[in-house]
Structure 1
Amino acid sequence: MSFLSRIMVLKSKAHFSAGANSRPTDPYSAAIFEGTRKRKSGQAKSRVVLLILSFTTVYCIIGARLVEYGVAMPDTTSSILPPDRLMASRPDIVDRNGALLATDIRTVSLFAEPNKIVDADDAAEKLSTVLPDLEPKSTYRKLSSKSHFQWLRRQLTPKQQSQILALGIPGIGFRPEKRRFYPGGPTASHVLGYVNIDNRGVVGMEKYIDDQGLADLAAVGMTSNQPLEPVRLSLDLRVQAIVRDAVVNAVTNFQAKGAGAVVLDIHTGEVIAMASAPDFDPNNPNASAAEGWLNRMSNGTFEMGSTFKTFTMAMALDSGKITLHDAFDASAPLHIGGFTIHDFHGQGRVLTVPEIFQYSSNIGTAKIVDLVGIDAQKDFLTRVGLLTKTQTELPEVKMPSQPHVWKKINSITISFGHGVSTTPLQTAVAAAALVNGGKLIEPTFLPRTREQADEVAKVVLKKSTSDDIRYLLDFNGSKGSGRVARVPGFDVGSKTGTADKVVNGRYSKTLNFNSFIAAFPIDNPEYVVMTFCDEPKSGEAKYGNTISAGTAGPIARDIIARAAPNLGVQPKFGQDSSALLVSY
């Protein structure tokens, strides 16, 4: 038998022997064997079940996290915004006639993925050839960082984008965005306001739009790039351009610190135009000095000087304490509490009520307010909105100031415009109430009909008082200091106001704040124009140089002469007020 055959025989014997002896023959050994087998089988099943549970738990956790990521809002970081927010639309802003004031334009922003940048120094150098104002150290630091995303420049021009694409820098890309564009530049800057780099309203009507719910919708991701319904303002772009031109020229021509004007519809409270200078270009607000951001018309308070005599006269006439036929002795200065009250244009005689208004007599006005009393004066000024904050859509509105305690000297100085500081806008609103029949209508920068205005109007004085005030304004406009703004054909009634400015707690003898109130056509007023000129260094010599008649008055004159035709006001000439053909 060969060796291989012998080996095969031995293996078969061994296998048979093992198989024969693998099961115990006695009952006790068989039970032990069977228990061992079942225990091993149970352990195997437990391991399988445990493995299944483990995999199920892991997949449940992964699924839960996927669901969480799917429904959660994307994280907003300082470096990048979600694409839907970058492309979210703002509504266009148009004037009352549909002329475009603000709109969105598509643009792109430049970003880098530093982890894909091959040579940060070379990339920064190439980018500087297209964007020379990129800060080299900051750009290199961003490009060489360990992050996966860095903004390099927001809102590029198409030309800049194409030039950067031509550089072929790896790791550089563009994201689409929307940029706010103001076709008129600074024409209506203080009314419109501006937006930040993320297209969110910062000030003006842009902020008002966000406050009405647009910002909340953007925060929860419910905005889109679909066009929105335009927001129509009460402004008339034609008149707005005229007003802005007039106040900017005044700052230059009169070497003034500032100037401003507002045109107000006295029957609806609509702001037809409003401008304050210095101003800024909302397309690039940071390029203007901080001084240009201040909206002096609604967010600056000033002592209005003798324009306040209009309200003092209205108060006294409405109370019944005086009539237009009364007269007061203004021949001598008044001495009250160590102060002396005198007239700038003193006549040294007894003056009738219209003459007190015409010559702007401080003495006569002081005697009139003394008849009415402090409490009645405070109540009237509150009633016409001069001691409370103006309610309107524009966010930038300042609270007026007044004395903590009203004494007799305060009452007298307030009667001719010293001691209470108000905003020019609220002064114009109160003046409108004096000439529209006695209705105080809060100003609005949105369209409003007369019917809607009547619903919110408050009657603050008698119609007969309003008629008397129109007479006084007309009288002063034709015979007094208001002659400067008596535009032929439009019968402008007006009142000047020249107030010494407070410097370091004392009234300056060289610096003035000049204001001017005008209403036209005064026989049936439709509009009020309020102008001011702050700290002028020069003025029209014919009307008194740096006082109101030489500075604020000419601003109103220029606005009315140019804007009245655009407002549809018909000029009147001749004895019967009919229009005449004039040959030039």
Structure 2
Amino acid sequence: MNGRIPLRPLARVLDARRRGENPDAIERENLRIRHEQMRDKARVRAEGRLLVLGLVFFCAFVVIGLRMGMLAQSEAEEPRAQLPGSSIIASRADIVDRQGRVLATNMETHSLYAHPHQMIEPLRAADELMKIFPDLNHERLVKDFTNGKRKFMWVKKKISPEQMQAVHDIGEPGLLFGPREMRLYPNGKLASHILGGASFGREGVASAEVIGTAGIERFFDDELRDPARGGAPLELSIDLTVQAATERVLSSGMKLMNAKGAASVLLDVHTGEIIAMASLPDFDPNDRPRPPVSGSPADSPLFNHAVQGVYELGSTFKIFAAAQALDLGLVKPDTVIDTSPPMKVSGFRIGEFEGHNYGKQTVEGIIQHSSNRGTGKIALAIGPERQQDFLKRMGFFEPTGVELTEASGGKPLLPARWTELSTVTISYGHGLSASPLHLAAGYAAIANGGHKISPTLLKQDGPHYGPQVMSEKVANEAAHMLRLVVTDGTASFADVPGYKVAGKTGTADKPKERGGGYYKDKVIATFSSIFPADDPKYALVVTLDEPVETSGSRPRRSAGWTAVPVAAEMIGRIAPLLGLRPEYDVPEEEEVTLVRN
């Protein structure tokens, strides 16, 4: 039952007939009423739909208005521009030095690929390609061109304009070219360990993604590929001219001292900027070699000795023990300590280089003569806990954090148990291994008045000091001791005319790769310095791996004979490039004799 009233209700029809009325009038009246009810329902339904539609439009306009307001209040953001239908971002920002000189850039080139099924003379094409690219495999080319299975194949990922023209002259329609950009390092091997290198990532025939594979290229890969940079280059802290001079001197010194490897770090002691950093042997990032699959990683030219290489840095660490003892008030520069033998710690005898006996020495004398026993006694007064805390605050417990992917592998090697014997040996640079960059940062803290700095490869806008790790007074006293090492101690070859240098030598026996123990005839020789000594601006560390100086009657391996002369030559070359004017001692007026013609 749907509740509808019948058009001809029986009761009303019978009643109408009794009264003599026409029953059809009843049907017409009921039909009119039914139609009016249907129109009313349709009108109500239509009005409801219009109301709902109006509400939908109102809500849409409110949402759009709110979104427009939010966009108006937000920061403008550059959209990522990509090739139509492609997700490959082919552009990459340049890398420049602190003077804006190009270290890495992009060059437009072409790739060569083949459609073997479109080739007319595949055998001739293979023969002609071998003339242009002798490094290709002829048998493989012939097989790929003729087996009928391959529709597409790469022949060369990048070719020169001359090679492109030569391939074009072959006249083979199945050989095709695709535009792309390649990474170019115009200075060749210069700063190779800093830059690292780049290669192709995702590839298409119309473009290829250039991605960083090592060094600064990989560390800042996302930033360098971000179109929002608007073409702005990545500005590094290094100076190209100083870097070139550093590498030239280090290479010559490495050959002269018959060393297996070498590293150098030049650091601004106030900003933490790395002005130059070199590692030898090196490589050309334009033709980056493959990582080694056997042997020691340190033997590969890809290995960054300045950052990845962790070594026992020998007596260069002695100044840290002296500085901490001064800062704790345990000693003064003129405090006398007896360095005479014997000295035993935990049953182990503590000796001196070549069996020397320096007798009673002041703290200054201990650093000047590089006494192991004297430094060890200072360290025992400090104690293991305080020594650990100081070296940790100096940054010798963690990687340096410099902007290189390889830096994470340069974590210092610490003793499993920090005993009293560890405290003594670490005070003179044995039992704790760190990188040359760690050492340069440590000496920078002495040079800048006692502030820890964080080494960086990015250009800075001014000094960036970290926490105070020693007082300014102690830092100045430590710098004075380092100056005495050059004027009256083991680093006399570092007395560069016109430039006052302060520093400390370190000669550490090289540990064996297997079986434990140390080589008797292999050392790591290091000279860590700051200059100018009276107003330090730079810290320089030079490290040689297995050096041997052979000009005398017997081979000499100590840092005073190997690393120091190399560092002295380096300072003499780079100091003028850094804008440091030489200062010479001028005799007093009464000592000058006038000569007249």
| Shared fold (TM-score, shorter chain, > 0.5) | yes
Map 1:203-214 to 2 at 5 A. Answer: 203-212=214-223, 214=225
- The residue aligned with 1:132 is 134
The 8 Å contact of residues 402 and 421 in structure 1, kept in 2 or not, is answered as: yes
1:213 Cα deviation (Å)? 6.9
Q: Give the whole-Å Cα distance in 1 for the aligned partners of 2:359 and 2:402.
A: 45
Which residue of 1 is the match for residue 33 of structure 2? none
**Mapped partners of 2:328, 2:190: distance in 1:** 43
Structure 1 residue 331, shift from structure 2 partner: 1.5
What does the per-residue CA deviation read over 1:71-117, in whole Å, with 9 as the maximum and x for residues that have no partner? xxxxxxxxxx9996777221111111111111111111110012212
Distance 1:577 1:100 in 2: 48
- What TM-score results when the alignment is normalised by the length of structure 2? 0.78
**Residues in 2 aligned to 1:233 and 1:542: alpha-carbon distance in whole angstroms:** 46
Instruction: Supply the AA of the counterpart residue of 1:447.
Output: K
Counterparts of 1:483 and 1:85, CA distance in 2: 61
Cα–Cα, structure 1 residues 492 and 543, in superposed 2: closer, same or farther, change >3 Å?
farther
Conserved? CA contact 2:224–2:234, under 8 Å? no
Deviation at 1:347, TM superposition (A): 3.5
Match of 1:151 in 2: 154
Q: 1:323 to 1:213 in 2, by over 3 A?
A: same
Shift of 1:176: 0.9
Provide the residue aligned with 2:391 in structure 1.
Answer: 381
The one-letter code matched in structure 2 to 1:281 is: D
Q: 2:242 aligns with which of 231, 235, 239?
A: 239
Q: CA deviation at 1:576?
A: 8.0
Task: Supply the AA of the counterpart residue of 2:216.
Answer: M
The change in CA–CA distance for 1:288 and 1:549 in structure 2 (over 3 A counts) is farther
Taking the TM superposition and a 5 Å limit, the aligned residue runs for 1:268-287 are 268-286=271-289
Check the 8 A contact 1:387/1:402 in 2, yes or no.
yes
Distance 1:132 1:537, change over 3 A: same
Separation of aligned partners in 2, 1:259 and 1:542: 25
CA contact (8 A) 2:266 2:541 kept: yes
C-alpha separation in 1, matches of 2:489 and 2:262: 23
Deviation at 1:124, TM superposition (A): 1.3
Q: Say which of 185, 190, 197 aligns to 1:187.
A: 190
For residues 122 and 444 of structure 1, do their structure 2 counterparts lie closer, same or farther at Cα, with a shift above 3 Å needed?
Answer: same
Q: Considering fraction of residues, name the structure with more helix.
A: 1
Q: CA deviation at 1:141?
A: 3.2
Selected match of 1:299 from 298, 301, 308: 308
Report the alpha carbon displacement of residue 130 of structure 1 after superposing the two structures with TM.
Answer: 1.2
Q: 1:344 aligns with which of 344, 353, 363?
A: 353
Q: What is the match of residue 46 of structure 1?
A: none
Number of residue pairs matched by the alignment: 488
Assess if the C-alpha contact under 8 Å between 1:97 and 1:236 holds in 2: yes
**After the TM superposition, which residues 346-425 of structure 1 pair with which residues of structure 2 at under 5 Å, given as runs?**
346-397=356-407, 398-425=410-437
Q: 1:498 aligns with which of 507, 517, 521?
A: 507
CA contact (8 A) 1:280 1:288 kept: no
Residue type of the partner of 1:358?
A: Q
Q: CA deviation at 1:342?
A: 1.0
Deviation sequence 1:274-316 (CA, Å, 0-9, x none): 0000000111112898710000100110000000101111111
**Separation in 1 of the partners of 2:583 and 2:254?**
32
Indicate conservation of the 8 Å contact 2:549/2:555, yes or no. Answer: no
CA contact 1:540–1:550 (8 Å) conserved in 2: no
5 Å-filtered alignment, 1:404-553, equals 404-451=416-463, 453-454=464-465, 457-503=466-512, 504=514, 505-538=516-549, 541=552, 545-553=556-564
Q: Which amino acid aligns with 1:262?
A: V
Please show how residues 243-262 of structure 1 align to structure 2 within 5 Å.
243-262=246-265
**Aligned-partner Cα distance in 2 for 1:83–1:538:** 63
Check the 8 A contact 1:276/1:297 in 2, yes or no: yes
User: In 2, distance between residues paired with 1:229 and 1:259?
Assistant: 34
3-state SS in 2 of match to 1:366 = helix
8 Å Cα contact 1:104-1:179 kept in structure 2: yes
For the residue of structure 1 that corresponds to 2:301, the secondary structure is helix
State the Cα deviation string for residues 163-190 of structure 1 (Å, max 9, x = none).
1111111211011111111111111000
Q: Which amino acid is the alignment partner of residue 235 of structure 2?
A: R
Instruction: Report the secondary structure of 1:529's partner residue.
Output: strand
Identity of aligned residues (%): 37
3-state secondary structure, aligned to 2:106: strand
What amino acid sits opposite 1:469 in the alignment? A
The match for 1:170 among 173, 178, 188 is 173
Q: Alpha-carbon deviation of 1:267?
A: 0.5
Contact 2:358–2:371, Cα closer than 8 Å, also in 1: no
- Alpha-carbon distance between aligned partners in 2 of 1:162 and 1:269, rounded to the nearest angstrom: 49
Q: Distance in 1 between matches of 2:196 and 2:112?
A: 26
Q: Which runs of 4+ in 1 moved over 4 A?
A: 81-87, 287-290, 539-544, 575-578
CA–CA separation in structure 1 for the residues paired with 2:260 and 2:266: 21
How many angstroms does 1:348 deviate by? Answer: 4.1
Letter in 1 for 2:134: P
Residues 53-202 of structure 1: matches in 2 within 5 Å?
88-144=90-146, 145-198=148-201, 199-202=210-213
Report the Cα distance in structure 2 between the residues aligned to 1:539 and 1:554, rounded to whole angstroms. Answer: 14
Q: What letter corresponds to residue 166 of structure 1 in structure 2?
A: D
Q: CA RMSD in A?
A: 2.4
- 1:299 alignment partner, SS class: coil
User: Compared with structure 1, are the counterparts of its residues 497 and 542 closer, same or farther at alpha carbon in structure 2 (3 Å cutoff)?
Assistant: farther
Q: Cα gap change, 1:300/1:577 in structure 2, threshold over 3 Å: closer, same or farther? A: farther
Q: Shift in Å at residue 538 of structure 1?
A: 2.5
The DSSP-based 3-state class of the residue aligned with 1:549 is coil
- How far apart are 1:151 and its partner, in Å? 0.6
